């Protein structure tokens, strides 16, 4: 069996083969005219007007029989190669547009099916890191960004995305904001983050909104616009540096807990369902740490009240959110033991 370096069944293969054939016809055609006594310029000119089909008058009116036959061969083979190449180009363009349209439709259907997800507005430096964390935790999210290069990277990573301006209401609707539980806007522009927050709050009154702010003065504006939390990366960075310098042991503990080092610890928060065995039980009677190895560091009540470092006689109630600290296998053991 003969093997070809280029697959002629693909559009790009057709283009490459057609272009190579056209180049051979041009070279051979020019060589043939030169061999019959024409100059190089005359030969090239004749090939161009013949293959292109322009049909200007011949270079020399007194063409010999050999030159006439050679011209007919150039027309037949040249037009064939040109049509074959053009067909490959058209197929390449058409298939690309079709695949792009089909991909857009499939992606839109997947977004329509997702619910209780997060929406991330912006795929810059902070958005990229955020999406990596969410993807690692298997959290459902939809990304919104208008930059073609960033969207191409998001597609390569397998993220769901909407390639539109996040400040537009249509983009948030396309991302399923009415079904989402949370939205994070991390654009570098404070003004755009404020606008997105206003639009998102108008579209979904119950969604949790976390916004990024570069300037401390923007924090109040974002909160008034409807943000539940505002994150100032510069302030957080300054606090971490200060902690590292003044309280290195505490900083090391935070690094371990947040997973920045190799210790397999994590902080998990689990909502207690209606039929959970922990409901109406105290930490002492449930023996959480003894049975599972995790530490209950906080309880969040349904009204939003947070009980930090709860005593052993604190009663857990339906609707509480338990914040745990422990190894991953211990957290899994907690889920199994108490059906959470």
Give me the residues paired with residue 181 across strands.
Answer: none
Question: What is the per-residue pLDDT for 264?
Answer: 60
Q: Which residue has the tokens 């011949």?
A: 58
In the chain, ranges of CATH 3.30.70.1450 domains: 264-338
As a whole number of Å, the end-to-end CA separation of the chain is 62
Read off the pLDDT band of 293 (50, 70, 90): confident
Per-residue pLDDT band at 265 (split at 50, 70, 90): low
Percent of residues, the chain, with pLDDT higher than 70? 87
Say if strands 306-308 and 295-300 run parallel, antiparallel, or are unpaired: antiparallel
For 103-113, the pLDDT digits (tens) are: 677 888 899 99
Architecture of domain 11-106: Orthogonal Bundle (1.10)
Please say if the pLDDT value at position 149 is more than 80.
yes
Counted residue by residue, the chain has a size of 340
Question: Per-residue pLDDT tens for 310-332?
Answer: 888 888 888 888 988 888 888 88
Quick one: average pLDDT of 222-239?
A: 90
> Parallel, antiparallel, or unpaired: how do β-strands 321-327 and 265-271 relate?
antiparallel
Q: Write down the pLDDT at residue 254.
A: 66
Percent helix, strand, coil in the chain, to 5, is 55, 15, 35
Predicted pLDDT of residue 2:
40
Instruction: Render pLDDT for 156-183 as a digit per residue (tens, 0 to 9).
Output: 999 999 999 999 999 999 999 999 999 9
Structure confidence by residue, pLDDT tens digits, 20-72: 888 898 898 888 888 888 888 888 888 888 777 666 666 677 777 887 888 88
Q: What is the DSSP string of 19-82?
A: HHHHHHHHHHHHHHHHHTT--HHHHHHHHHHHHHT--PPPS-SS--HHHHHHHHHHHHHHHHHH
Percentage of residues in the chain with pLDDT exceeding 90? 32
**CATH 1.10.287.70 region(s) of the chain?**
11-106
**What local confidence, expressed as pLDDT, does residue 42 receive?**
81
Average pLDDT over the chain reads: 84
Homologous superfamily of 115-231 in CATH? Answer: NAD(P)-binding Rossmann-like Domain (3.40.50.720)
Instruction: Say whether domain 264-338 belongs to CATH 3.30.70.1450.
Output: yes
């Amino acid at each position: 069996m003969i093997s070809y370096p280029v697959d002629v069944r693909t559009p790009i293969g057709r283009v490459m083969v057609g272009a190579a054939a056209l180049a051979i016809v041009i070279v051979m055609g020019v060589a043939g005219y030169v061999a019959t006594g024409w100059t190089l310029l005359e030969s090239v000119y004749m090939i161009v007007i013949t293959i292109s089909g322009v049909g200007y008058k011949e270079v020399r009116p007194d063409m010999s029989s050999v030159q006439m036959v050679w011209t007919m061969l150039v027309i037949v083979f040249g037009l064939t190669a040109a049509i074959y190449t053009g067909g490959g180009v058209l197929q390449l363009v058409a298939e690309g547009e079709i695949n792009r349209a089909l991909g857009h439709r499939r992606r839109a259907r997947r977004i329509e099916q997702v619910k209780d997800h997060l929406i991330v507005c912006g795929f810059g430096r902070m958005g990229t890191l955020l999406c990596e964390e969410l993807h690692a935790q298997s959290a459902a999210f939809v990304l919104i960004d208008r930059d073609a290069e960033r969207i191409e990277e998001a597609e390569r990573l397998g993220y769901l995305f909407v390639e539109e301006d996040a400040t537009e209401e249509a983009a948030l609707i396309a991302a399923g904001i009415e079904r989402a539980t949370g939205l994070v806007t991390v654009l570098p522009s404070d003004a755009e983050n404020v606008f997105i927050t206003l639009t998102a709050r108008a579209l979904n009154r119950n969604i949790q909104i976390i916004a990024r702010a570069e300037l401390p003065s923007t924090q109040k504006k974002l909160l008034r616009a409807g943000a539940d939390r505002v994150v100032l990366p510069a302030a957080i960075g300054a606090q971490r540096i200060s902690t590292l310098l003044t309280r290195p042991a505490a900083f090391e503990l935070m690094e371990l807990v947040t997973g920045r080092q190799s210790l397999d610890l994590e902080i998990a928060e689990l909502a207690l369902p209606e039929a959970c065995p922990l409901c109406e039980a105290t930490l002492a009677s449930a023996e959480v740490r003894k049975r599972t190895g995790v530490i209950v560091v906080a309880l969040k009540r349904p009204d939003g009240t947070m009980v930090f470092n709860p005593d052993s006689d604190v009663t857990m109630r339906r609707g509480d959110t338990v914040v745990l600290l422990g190894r991953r296998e211990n957290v899994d053991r907690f889920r199994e033991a108490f059906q959470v």
